[in-house]
Structure 1
Amino acid sequence: MDYISNILFAVALLAGVGFFVMNVRKLIRNIKLGREVDRSDNKSARWKNMARVALGQSKMVSRPIAGILHIIVYIGFIIINIEVLEIIIDGLFGTHRVFQPLLGDGVYGFLIGTFEVLALLVFVSVIVFWLRRNVIRLKRFLNKEMKGWPKNDGNFILYFEMVLMSLFIVMNATDPSFQEAGIGNPISQFVAPWFSGLSVDTIHLIERSAWWVHILGILVFLNYLYYSKHLHILLAFPNTYYANLNPKGQFTNLESVTNEVKMMMDPDADPYAMPAEGAEEEVPEKFGASDVMDLNRVQLLNAYTCTECGRCTSACPANLTGKELSPRGIMMKTRDRLEEVGKNIDKNGEFKDDQKQLLNDYITPEELWACTSCNACVEECPVNIDPLSIIMDMRRYLVMEQSAAPQELNMMMTNVENNGAMWQYSPMDRLNWKDE
């Protein structure tokens, strides 16, 4: 009968990993719907940025309690799952704790003991996170965009982690040979007595059940990531690598605008020139962004990487003064629209116009114009997401494609065009103040 369980394990493993790979391919396809952007410069700084921010969690600890707890969960969960390698080998070949004789009791006991301590620390940290969300109810977890699925998603992942850590301890506690060896059981030795009154067969059934549910839970968790904000576990690394290294507040010039200006300054250029015979007439490039396909690939990667932690929104001066803008909401809406576009492609084989776009259907002009472009959201984000770049690209579209800027801004731009300054008086009067 052992070979049947081995086959079932192999099927579950292939199904779990296969579905994960399918979703990763879909994720990459969706991100590639955006415009290409060159972020190949200064590779050494990019690697350092990734090591410091994604791996080292340097921006998390700006809020010490949440930061330290997050580091415990992050390190604990990653290190504990090293044991998955042993589980996979045992599951495929019918062995039991295959690494114990290979590594020796000393090394193996140290590793498993470390895993158990980390499992307890992760469990306690997750309990604190749950209390912060559901009992203390921190304000940044209560914004209007955190209703329904986003709120439930945050709790689901905490329950996942509680169950997985508990199963790991129970699995060790109900393994008689492991407990008798007295190695690597600093936590499970205190749980083992809970099962002392049960028969050997019952204890073995509990151990096998915990083992199976633990590994199946990990496979479910792996595939749950695509549908969850917890994609940042994987995407934080490329996101921080491809982050904008320019000083905050330095905006890029639109290539389309630059080309227009160059043509205006070229005395030999003919703006009315017709395309050569047989050549296709070029469609003018859109100024700014009105939908996700107009954004660049790093911005779409940002949307999928968003942790929904709300640090950006809690630091946003517009949001703090009651405006509609929530930088977290901007990223969540961008991701929702991108997912909708992806489903459209899945259904039709290509994108079919659905009479929707990111602007207006998801993000309103009121939100965009509430932004003060102060970069507080960019500074606060623990994984270097840049909501401001999306806001500015959509503002560019409103101004340059729809002439839909607020009246005050239109007046200012008119004054700049006519007077060379923001103020509504002649340039000849600029120095009148010195005569007063």
Structure 2
Amino acid sequence: MHILQELLFVVLFGAAVYLFTKNARQIWKNIRLGRDQELNDHPEKRWKNVLLLAFGQKKMFRNPLVAVLHFFVYAGFIIINLEILEIILDGVLGTHRLFAPFMGSAYPVFISIFEVLAVTVILACAVFLIRRNILKLYRFRSRDLDGWPRSDANYILITEITLMLLFLTMNTADLALQAKGAAHYLPTGNFAVSGMFAPMFSGLSEGALTGIERTCWWLHIAGILAFLNYLPYSKHLHIILAFPNAYYASLLPKGEMENMPSVQHEVQLMLQPELAASAPPAENMPKFGAKDVTDLTWKNLLDAYACTECGRCSAACPANMTGKKLSPRKIMMDTRDRATEVGKNIQANKGSFVDDQKTLLHDYISEEELRACTTCNACVEECPVSISPLDIILQLRRYLVMEASSAPGEWTNMFSNIENNMAPWKFSMDDRDKWTRE
């Protein structure tokens, strides 16, 4: 019987790891659809971003209450999962609480810490469910989240509560079995939370307690493996991608826009026409901006997959607050959805992309959304995991203006003035300082 259980566990664990690896590889391929971009400079600054933003959640603490609750969930998820190592080894080797004999009196201390964290995770997730579904905070009422995204957030919170309850129930039944002197359930010492409830199980038979403990054990580990394979389809993929995303975040000063060398060259020739004669002819005409995900950089696509859908960017966006169509959160969700769609297309056609008559611009993101952006950088400043919706907006808008020649009349007049007068206003260069003389 024990051999059968070990075999079943190995098959379950192997299948879960295989499926997660397969899905993770596909997401990596989707991210690599983007253009190359070198982001390896100043490693000391980049590691500092990882420590402060990803591990330390620095930006989350602008709202202390929410930050503390999120930290409980984050710390609980990371630390409690250390206990999974013991569960996995127990499943493979057919043992029970493998680490207990080696750790001695320290073992119940560690399990007690895990249990206290489990309680904080349950409470924090309950508060988040209330904020989303009863209080319905503004950024959670947005149409961006209609359908799957809204359900996804609730599923995750409910799953985390369930996993923690299974963990606590498993330990409670375990302590009750230890008290009865059941075989294989050697005394480990008392646990902080489950120890308070173990006496309530004392009236149950040894068989019933074993059934409860084993059922909770299997459901707990199966739930964690299922959660692992749910991550690639969920916004909670940021649990993993927040770390590389923080490392590769832009180190440019806030608000500084990255210029295209080809555009700079054209402007230089415009200002100094005498250079045109000596300038070598361009071998290939550059493509300005981005129309689809393959025109964006791999970092833009990493941003999209790392998005937590928290909505802090949209809540801080002045265009969004004044009722305009732009939502930075939607920009990231649309970019991720399009990258996933293109990846599936390539996979279905054995490595080749078959034109599906769709593009990120127009089919996912409209011109109206892009033109509403004031480039104020508020979305970038607010994002807790260093995502830049603004960079994607600027690249799509650059394509509209420079490739599709699509711009509002007000913009066209400004562009014309800059080209002719070197200023946005319709004054000749000779008259620019005339107001000072008057």
**TM class, shorter-length:** over 0.9
Say whether 1:121 aligns with 2:120.
yes
Which of 414, 425, 428 aligns to 1:426? It is 428
3-state SS, counterpart of residue 403 of structure 1: coil
Tell me the equivalent position of 1:221.
227
Q: In the TM superposition, what is the alpha-carbon distance from 1:417 to its structure 2 partner?
A: 1.3
Conserved? CA contact 1:13–1:219, under 8 Å: yes
Contact 2:100–2:188 (CA under 8 A) maintained in structure 1: no
Do residues 340 (structure 1) and 341 (structure 2) align? yes
The alpha carbon displacement at 1:65 in A equals 1.4
Q: Equivalent of 2:416, from 414, 417, 426?
A: 414
Q: Does the 8 A contact of 1:240 with 1:384 survive in 2?
A: yes
**In the alignment, which residue of structure 2 is the partner of 1:368?**
370
State the one-letter code of the partner of 2:191.
Answer: N
Contact 2:73-2:121 at 8 Å conserved across structures? yes
* 1:233 aligned residue (226, 229, 239): 239
What's 2:134 paired with? 135
For 1:17-166, what aligned pairs fall within 5 Å after superposition?
17-104=17-104, 106-166=105-165
2: distance between equivalents of 1:346 and 1:227?
Answer: 17
Query: Cα distance 1:2–1:100, how it changes in 2: closer, same or farther (>3 A)?
Result: same
Offset, 1:431: 2.6
Name the residue aligned to 1:267.
277
Kindly state the Cα deviation for residue 405 of structure 1 after the two structures are TM-superposed.
1.2
In structure 2, what residue type is equivalent to 1:269? A
Q: CA deviation at 1:391?
A: 0.4
Residue 106 of structure 2 aligns with an amino acid whose one-letter code is: V
Q: Which runs of 5+ in 1 are unaligned?
A: 274-281
Distance of 2:268 and 2:418 partners within structure 1: 20
The aligned residue for residue 404 of structure 2 is: 402
Q: CA deviation at 1:297?
A: 0.7
Cα root mean square deviation, aligned: 1.6
Q: Partner of 2:183 in structure 1? A: none
Aligned to 1:253: 259
Gaps of 5+ in 2: 181-186
Deviates more, 1:189-198 or 1:226-235: 189-198
Shift of 1:184: 4.4
- Is contact 1:37-1:296 (8 Å) kept? yes
Deviations 1:228-268 (A, max 9, x none): 00000000000000000111111111133245557873533
> Paired residue for 1:278?
none
Deviation, structure 1 residue 334: 0.5
Question: What is the deviation of 1:193?
Answer: 3.5
| Offset at residue 83 of structure 1 (A) | 0.6
Q: Confirm or deny: 8 A CA contact 1:172 1:178 kept in the other structure.
A: no
The percent of aligned pairs where both chains have the same amino acid is 54
Q: Does structure 1 conserve the Cα–Cα contact (< 8 Å) formed by 2:177 and 2:210?
A: no
Q: How far apart are 1:138 and its partner, in Å? A: 0.6
Task: Output the CA distance in 2 between the equivalents of 1:128 and 1:391.
Answer: 34
The match for 1:10 is 10
Task: State whether residues 173 and 198 of structure 2, in contact with CA within 8 Å, keep that contact through their aligned partners in structure 1.
Answer: yes
TM-fit CA distance, 1:352? 1.0
184 and 76 in structure 1: CA distance in 2 versus 1, 3 angstrom threshold = farther
Whole-Å separation in 2 of the counterparts to 1:434 and 1:305: 52
Moved more, 202-211 or 168-177: 168-177
Q: Distance in 1 between matches of 2:66 and 2:339?
A: 30
Q: Which amino acid aligns with 1:339?
A: T
In 1, distance between residues paired with 2:246 and 2:267?
Answer: 33
Assess if the C-alpha contact under 8 Å between 1:248 and 1:375 holds in 2. yes
TM-score (norm 1): 0.95
| Secondary structure of the corresponding residue to residue 226 of structure 1 | helix
For each residue in 1:349-379, what CA deviation from the matched residue of structure 2 results, as whole angstroms up to 9, or x when unmatched?
2211111000000000110110110111101
TM-aligned CA deviation for residue 177 of structure 1: 4.5
The range that moved more, 251-260 or 131-140, is 251-260
Quote the offset at 1:152 in angstroms. Answer: 0.1
What is the deviation of 1:270?
5.1
* CA distance in 2: counterparts of 1:235 and 1:251, whole angstroms: 24
TM-score (norm 2): 0.94
Native 8 Å contact 2:314 2:320 kept in 1:
yes
String of CA shifts for 1:100-125, please: whole Å, max 9, x gaps.
Answer: 00111x11011101001110111111
Paired residue secondary structure (1:374): coil
Q: Which residue of 2 aligns with 1:277?
A: none
Aligned length: 426
Q: Secondary structure at the match of 1:59?
A: helix
The answer to which of 141-150 and 171-180 deviates more is 171-180
